Amino acid sequence: MSLFEQSSEWQPSVKIHLIVNLRSGRIGRNARLLPRLRAAIAAQGLDAEVSVTEGPGHGTELGRRAVAGGAARVVAVGGDGTMNEVAQALVGGTVPLALIPCGSGNGLARNLGIPLCPLRALALAADPSAPVRSMDTATANGKPFFNAMGLGFDAAVSHRFGAGTQRGLAAYAAAVLREFSGRRVERCAVSCGGTRTGMDILLIAVANSDQYGNGAVIAPGARVDDGSLDLVAVAPVGVCGALGLAARMFVGGFDRSPSVTRLRGPLFVIERPAPGLIHADGECRTEAAVISVAVVPSNLRVVAPALRA
């Protein structure tokens, strides 16, 4: 299916505000997409405004302006990082988030069943009859994320991928291979429900949805509306073990590997030897040695055809 396939799903529209990140996804793709979106808006007579982000954090500012300007829905056009910025302007409010997934992985959009064709996603975002649902969000040391966060190897790969000039699954796989050769083992402790467990880890991920993106499922069955988060810890593995885990992400059963520990709960406290990198929805930052990760139930409204069972 072409990314620019025409949609047959146009309906009378509500007032929407699109916030576009031209740097998301494959280089240049969103720059080519923008005039297509503008043309569709004009052709269908949609009540829509379009803004383009200019740098980190700008998506949140634009989201707040969109709400203040009377938008009925605010539409993030980009990947999980763009979604994160725009959603921060909407948490706890009544204006729903809609997504036009144009990033490298689009993990949350895939979990929510958002069409990957941008024009179909635009039609859904503008459709007044489209379902609007409440989903959980999460925080890591008080800062919000919506799909997944991680540390260790997980964060190192995100950092390398984000610093590169290429996007897409192939570029992400290349970042994985480069980081794996220099992988480090960390001794961590995870507290959940009154139990504290020490473990040697290659990575820890805490997921709100079921996947990173591109169909790489790390927490099978995880839901964004169950009031819980899923922590997945991967023990140190060699090349063969890593290949097996990578395959399980795409064919199923990742959490059934003996190298994987999975915990579910509303709050996790992760202790590691020193401050270091984490990623939140693929965006990296340095955090303290102790990271408190908590769910915030039902505080973001999203336009989504179905929350995954």
Active site residues: 283
Contacts of 208 (CB under 8 A, 6+ apart): 108, 135, 136, 137, 138, 145, 146, 147, 148, 222, 224, 229, 230, 295
**196: which strand partners?**
191
Contacts 24+ apart (CB under 8 A), 31-36: 33/3, 33/4, 33/77, 33/102, 33/118, 36/4, 36/118, 36/119
Amino acid at the residue 69: G
CA distance 142 to 150: 15
Element (H, E) at 193: none
Amino acid at the residue 37: L
Contacts of 109 (CB under 8 A, 6+ apart): 83, 99, 101, 116, 121
Contacts of 32 (CB under 8 A, 6+ apart): none
Which residue has 């610093």 as its token pair?
163
